[in-house]
Amino acid sequence: MPDDRIETTTNGAPHTVIVERRGSGGGLLIGLAVLIAVIVAAYFLLNQANNDNARTGAVTSVAKSVGDAADKAGDAVEGATK
């Protein structure tokens, strides 16, 4: 970025003042906002995966319970037919 040079004279002596212009930091704020959005999205995706695992575990448990009940019913039918 080119610097602005301001040349002045004070009491007959020339002075050069260099004014540096810098960005306002808007890019930094946008980058920070994008980073936060990525972190939030990752959190929700990981949380969804954990919920899927919990749901799978619950279905497996229920299926096992139904299987046990079916075994008991089968045993009861066998006992009744003897």
- E strand segments, 1-82: 4-10, 13-19
3 state SS of 9: strand
Name the residue ranges covered by the structural domains of the chain: 24-81
pTM, two decimals, is 0.42
The answer to whether 1 and 19 have CB atoms below 8 angstroms apart is no
Query: pLDDT tens for residues 9-33?
Result: 677 777 777 777 777 778 888 999 9
Query: pLDDT tens for residues 47-80?
Result: 887 777 777 878 888 888 888 888 888 888 777 7
What are the CA-CA distances from residue 15 to residues 2, 7, 18, 31, 57 (Å)? 19, 6, 10, 40, 78
